[in-house]
Structure 1
Amino acid sequence: MQELVKYIAQAMVEKPEAVEVTLTEKDNEFVVHLQVDPDDMGKVIGKQGRIAKAIRTVVKAASPKNEKPYFVEIQ
């Protein structure tokens, strides 16, 4: 899942080398932390959060149904 989020984020930003993705496990969920350069934050979030919502939708669709759900946090 980390590779998917990193691939999507790197395709959108001007500084792909600054993209960092980490995965943490909480009680009943996995959290994918996406960190980008502050100058690229607007591109990852998009107008009214549309891009961020699309990334979250792709991650949700790609996550296995029999495992804990995945969530994306953009930092």
Structure 2
Amino acid sequence: MKEILETIVLNIVENKNNVEVLEKIEETTIVYEVKVEKEDMGKIIGKQGKVAQAIRTLIKSIGAKEKKKIVVKFVE
């Protein structure tokens, strides 16, 4: 799942070398922290947060198959 998230983010941002996806696994929850450059944050968030929400929805639906709660956070 981490690889899928990385692939999606790398295809959106300009500064591909400065993308980092951290994965924290808890009992029933997986938290992904996506770090991108400040200039790329707008592209990841999108207008009214639509791109970020679409990414979260996609990753959460994959997690639902594995009965895991998924949280995706975007940070600079």
Query: What is the Cα deviation at residue 20 of structure 1?
Result: 0.3
- Range that drifts further, 19-28 or 38-47: 19-28
Following TM superposition, by how much is the alpha carbon of 1:66 offset from its aligned partner in structure 2, in angstroms? 4.1
The alpha carbon displacement at 1:67 in A equals 3.1
Aligned residue number for residue 22 of structure 1: 22
What is the aligned-residue RMSD (CA, Å)?
A: 1.3
Give unpaired runs (5+ residues) of structure 2. Answer: none
Identity of aligned residues (%): 37
Q: TM-score normalized by structure 2?
A: 0.89
Residue 44 of structure 1: aligned partner = 44
Distance 2:12 2:66 in 1: 30
C-alpha distance in 2, partners of 1:66/1:73?
A: 20
Q: Deviations over 1:7-57 (max 9, x none)?
A: 000001111111100100235311011010111000000000000000001
Could you state the TM-score of these two structures normalised by the residue count of structure 1? Answer: 0.90
Q: How many residues align?
A: 75
